[in-house]
């Protein structure tokens, strides 16, 4: 990812972060699709953790922990990267929100009612050990929320994985479900899908839009508007079983002991 893609319009005293491909960021117009695709999941979880004590593991830039803190009783954002931690600590503040540096596989805290672990399990060499560790941080009856991209829609057709150098393993729905079921007794799977503008765009692509807009000279003007205009309303989550989620963009798992 080119270093030229840097966050815009940060508050005074908050160092902007540059896109590296390791994490998504707000305030980068070229990244807005991915940011909104991740933010919709945080907001979906926020509605389910109202009044609870939550830890956001591998919180990155901090926008997700901030979204969770709008409804949760308390939120701790944990990330090992020093630049991301410093940015989050300076930018997102609230009486129920704090940030700590640490490795997700070793950080100790809590206990918590909910652990949020989004778009990170694909980065791990030993996900089973991390899941076992998380189980020990939950209160009785607590919930772990996990998300990861669907390799079937992320990777090129026929490829075993995408070219993202940060990903150690990318999952099919049944693979993720099996991994989580080895550590949690109750696992619900949801799929993130396009809605509204993005669903209409998908239909336009099937009808030949990619052949038309270059000939009409509309590529720059259309996508210069379209990308930044995408919002969380252009995604939806639907519950399903692995066989029904093959076309999902991301998987979201709700795991309970």
Q: Tell whether 131 is covered by a domain.
A: yes
CATH number of the domain where residue 203 is located: 3.40.50.150
How many domains is the chain partitioned into structurally? Answer: 1
Residue 53 resides in a domain: yes
Threshold 0.85, pTM exceeds: yes
78 in a domain, yes or no?
yes
183 falls within a domain = yes
The pLDDT of 67-87, averaged and rounded, is: 98
- Confidence at 22, pLDDT banded by 50, 70, 90: confident
CA distances from 192 to 70, 77, 89, 204, 225 (A): 22, 23, 29, 20, 23
Asked whether residue 126 is domain-assigned, the answer is yes
Percent of the chain with pLDDT over 90: 93
Residues 214 and 203: their CA atoms lie apart, in Å, by: 17
Residue 47 lies in a domain: yes
- Residue 25, judged by CB atoms within 10 A of its CB (0-12, 13-18, 19+), counts as buried
The range of the structural domain enclosing residue 97 comes to 35-256
Confidence of residue 257 (pLDDT cuts 50, 70, 90): very high
Residue at 11 is within a domain: no
Name residue 144's beta-bridge partners.
115, 255
Q: Is residue 166 part of a domain?
A: yes
């Amino acid at each position: 990812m080119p270093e030229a893609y840097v966050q815009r319009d940060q508050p005074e005293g908050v160092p902007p972060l540059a896109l590296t491909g390791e994490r998504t960021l707000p305030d980068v117009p070229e990244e807005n699709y991915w940011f909104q695709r991740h933010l919709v999941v945080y907001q979906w979880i926020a509605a389910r953790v109202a009044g609870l004590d939550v830890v956001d593991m591998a919180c990155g830039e901090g926008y997700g922990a901030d979204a969770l803190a709008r409804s949760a009783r308390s939120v701790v954002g944990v990330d090992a990267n020093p630049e991301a931690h410093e940015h989050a600590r300076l930018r997102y503040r609230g009486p129920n929100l704090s940030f700590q540096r640490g490795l997700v596989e070793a950080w100790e805290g809590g206990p918590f009612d909910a652990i949020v672990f989004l778009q990170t399990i694909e980065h791990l060499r030993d996900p089973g050990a991390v899941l076992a560790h998380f189980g020990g941080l939950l209160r009785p009856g607590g919930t772990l929320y996990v998300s990861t991209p669907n390799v079937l829609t992320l990777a090129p057709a026929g490829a075993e994985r995408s070219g993202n150098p940060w990903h150690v393993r990318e999952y099919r729905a049944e693979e993720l479900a099996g991994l989580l079921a080895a550590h949690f007794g109750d696992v619900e799977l949801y799929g993130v899908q396009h809605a509204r503008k993005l669903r209409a765009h998908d239909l336009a692509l099937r009808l030949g839009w990619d052949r038309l807009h270059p000939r009409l000279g509309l590529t720059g003007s259309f996508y210069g508007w379209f990308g930044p205009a995408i919002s969380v309303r252009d995604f939806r989550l639907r519950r399903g079983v692995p066989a029904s989620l093959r076309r999902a963009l991301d998987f979201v798992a709700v795991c309970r002991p």
